[in-house]
């Protein structure tokens, strides 16, 4: 018995059949948050950047650079969310913040082309070990795709690199809004021609699930307790009674009988 | 030697290596027209509708119904293109024109639910026999996806039904324009973060390739000489010197060395 499995009101899957549960019996599509939930961005970026540094003889504390780079992520989107700057893709925000972080750390020897190349590392992130099998099982019954803050071009490359069995690729440039603004959740359901309760967001982040639930979507929490490295302090567990809580995507596939 | 193979200036692939050809050496993504090019909509619809009629005891000349239904397709989109009506998805246009065709043929015994169910037959169209192998080979090197006049919801179901190895799914509701308006070709390149000459449209229709070429895309023509049935009169051959002409998708995969 997997003790991480919790359904509505903390029922386990042994209390009643999943497909008798009103919460998921009409489910048609699963939307996935990507950075953190599907791919291990931190270790992937550290590996890519350290290899680049070694190849090019550039010295730096690469894990520190990656952590500072990611720390700039949400504030940079927030300026767009608040209307303080016009629509800007995540690729462009990543490129900008990398330049700022490199300068702040005093790293020298990087050209503009190098910064562009390093930004492309976001297109080559590795999935967590459970993702391939879990996604393939879920794909046998559900329509699958990302609901990420990435732009389409970034997500299409990442999907190709990681070999993810997605039926579509959405990106924030389609609606020019970043989660947790309501538009991404609403637009995804509308484009799929599904009611919100036929759609489930799968995410490792409680804030994302909260925003999805407000729009009427079903929710599944997957903890990724090392997403931010060994000293992660947030999103270690489900903070609310989400529709489903699973230990990873294989576990979610089992919960959904696939 | 496949005599259907023609490149720029009617060169065959034996005149010069494909990958030395400036026209395709920088190619990154292939966009596919879908109805006719990828799937055999006519025979698929006839099969679905005849089976429905037999199951339900509804008598009709199903091939005639399908031909009249398809004949309503372009005029219905044209009203949207010309701004004579506001944005309407292909699903909705199909549903409307089916009602009109059923009435004009004097077919009785169909409820509104039946008409909705028959319209969904567009989500279950069979690929031509060469598609599966051709697409899989092309996917090993290129980013693949549809550039159709279908809406996202229709195309996502069709992709799932037909098992197509696409990296993304675009739909006309993303830009609210129908081909051959310029917006779909432009928006697709922009969303993929590619220059038009890094993108190739693959289509069985000369008008579509013309519109793509005006926007700077590479072009590949695939004849589908029975798309409209045994008495098809148009698009029997390439009407201009497209970047590539292939006999089918397997042949295109060979031309592109995949």
Q: Under an 8 A CB cutoff, do A143 and B156 touch?
A: yes
Predicted local distance difference test score (pLDDT) of residue A97? 97
The per-residue pLDDT for range B27-81, each reduced to its tens digit, is: 999 999 999 999 999 999 999 999 999 999 999 999 999 999 999 999 999 999 9
CA-to-CA separations, B254 to B21, B88, B137, B250, in angstroms, rounded: 15, 39, 9, 6
Predicted local distance difference test score (pLDDT) of residue B15? 37
Average pLDDT, chain B: 91
SS (H, E, C) B42-73: HHHHHHHHHHHHHHHCCCCCHHHHHHHHHHCH
CA-to-CA separations, B245 to B25, B82, B197, in angstroms, rounded: 16, 31, 17
B241 confidence band (pLDDT: 50, 70, 90): confident
Nearest to A164 by CA among A180, A183, A145: A145
Predicted local distance difference test score (pLDDT) of residue A250? 97
Measured between CA atoms, the residue of chain B closest to residue A150 is B191
pLDDT at B12 over 70: no
Q: Which helix (H) or strand (E) holds B77?
A: helix B73-81
Percent with pLDDT over 70 in chain A: 91
User: Angle A50-A121-A149 (CA atoms, 0-180°, nearest 5)?
Assistant: 135
Q: What is the mean pLDDT of residues B91-119?
A: 95
Q: Under an 8 A CB cutoff, do B173 and A151 touch?
A: no
Name every residue whose Cβ is closer than 8 Å to that of residue A106 and which is 6 or more positions away in sequence: none
Question: In this complex, is the C-beta atom of B51 within 8 Å of any C-beta atom belonging to chain A?
Answer: no
Given 3-state DSSP classes, what are the helix, strand and coil percentages for chain B, each rounded to the nearest 5? Answer: 50, 10, 45
Question: In this complex, is the C-beta atom of B157 within 8 Å of any C-beta atom belonging to chain A?
Answer: yes
| Radius of gyration, CA atoms only, chain A | 19
Least CB-CB distance to B173: which of A143, A154, A191?
A: A191
Encode burial over A189-201: b for 16+ CB neighbours within 10 A, e otherwise. Answer: bebbbbebbbbbb
Predicted local distance difference test score (pLDDT) of residue A77? 95
Predicted local distance difference test score (pLDDT) of residue B25? 79
Window B:82-111, CB contacts with A under 8 Å: 91
- A107 to chain B, minimum CA–CA distance in Å? 29
Q: Under an 8 A CB cutoff, do B169 and A167 touch?
A: yes
- B156 to chain A, minimum CA–CA distance in Å? 6
Residue where the block lists tokens 């550290």: A46
Predicted local distance difference test score (pLDDT) of residue A23? 56
Predicted local distance difference test score (pLDDT) of residue A25? 79
What residues of B are in contact with residue A173 (Cβ under 8 Å)?
Answer: 191
Two tokens, residue B65: 């119904």
Measured between CA atoms, the residue of chain B closest to residue A158 is B167
The per-residue pLDDT for range A70-124, each reduced to its tens digit, is: 999 999 999 999 999 999 999 999 999 999 999 999 998 899 999 999 999 999 9
Q: Give the distance from CA B104 to its chain's centroid.
A: 27
pLDDT at A2 over 80: no
pLDDT at B96 over 90: yes
Q: Under an 8 A CB cutoff, do B151 and A193 touch?
A: yes
The per-residue pLDDT for range B216-235, each reduced to its tens digit, is: 999 999 999 999 999 999 99
- A238 to chain B, minimum CA–CA distance in Å? 31
Average pLDDT, chain A: 91
| CA atoms lying within 13 Å on the CB side of residue A165 | 15
Question: Strand order in A218-221's β-sheet?
Answer: A6-7, A244-245, A218-221, A199-203, A29-32, A143-146
d(CA B180, CA B166) in angstroms, rounded, equals: 22
- B22 to chain A, minimum CA–CA distance in Å? 24
Per DSSP, A198 falls in state G
d(CA A204, CA A30) in angstroms, rounded, equals: 14
Q: Under an 8 A CB cutoff, do B153 and A193 touch?
A: yes
ipTM over 0.85: no
Residue where the block lists tokens 């990873």: A248
Predicted local distance difference test score (pLDDT) of residue A160? 96
Predicted local distance difference test score (pLDDT) of residue A240? 87
What residues of B are in contact with residue A143 (Cβ under 8 Å)?
Answer: 156-157, 160
d(CA A7, CA A18) in angstroms, rounded, equals: 9
The per-residue pLDDT for range B158-202, each reduced to its tens digit, is: 999 999 999 999 999 999 999 999 999 999 999 999 999 999 999
The per-residue pLDDT for range A12-40, each reduced to its tens digit, is: 433 334 444 445 778 999 999 999 999 99
Name every residue whose Cβ is closer than 8 Å to that of residue B15 and which is 6 or more positions away in sequence: B7
Question: In this complex, is the C-beta atom of B187 within 8 Å of any C-beta atom belonging to chain A?
Answer: no
The per-residue pLDDT for range B135-157, each reduced to its tens digit, is: 999 999 999 999 999 999 999 99
Please tell me which residue, B172 or A241, carries the higher pLDDT value: B172
């Amino acid at each position: 018995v997997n003790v991480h499995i919790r359904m509505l009101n903390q029922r386990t899957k042994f209390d009643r059949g999943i497909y008798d549960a009103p919460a998921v019996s009409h489910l048609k599509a699963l939307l996935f948050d990507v950075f953190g939930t599907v791919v291990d961005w931190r270790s992937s970026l550290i590996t890519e950047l350290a290899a680049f540094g070694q190849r090019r003889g550039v010295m730096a504390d690469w894990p520190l650079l990656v952590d500072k780079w990611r720390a700039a992520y949400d504030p940079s989107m927030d300026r767009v969310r608040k209307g303080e700057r016009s629509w800007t893709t995540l690729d462009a925000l990543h490129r900008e913040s990398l330049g700022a972080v490199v300068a702040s750390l005093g790293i020298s020897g990087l050209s503009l082309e190098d910064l562009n190349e390093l930004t492309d590392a976001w297109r080559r992130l590795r999935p967590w070990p459970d993702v391939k099998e879990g996604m393939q099982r879920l794909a046998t019954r559900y329509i699958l795709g990302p609901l990420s803050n990435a732009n389409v071009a970034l997500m299409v490359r990442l999907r190709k690199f990681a070999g993810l069995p997605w039926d579509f690729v959405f990106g924030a440039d389609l609606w020019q809004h970043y989660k947790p603004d309501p538009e991404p959740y609403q637009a995804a359901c509308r484009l799929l021609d599904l009611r919100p309760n036929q759609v489930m967001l799968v995410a490792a982040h409680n804030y994302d699930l909260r925003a999805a639930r407000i729009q009427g979507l079903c929710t599944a929490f997957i903890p990724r307790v090392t997403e931010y490295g060994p000293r992660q302090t947030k999103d270690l567990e489900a903070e609310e009674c989400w529709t489903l809580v699973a230990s990873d995507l294989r576990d979610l596939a089992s919960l959904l009988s696939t």
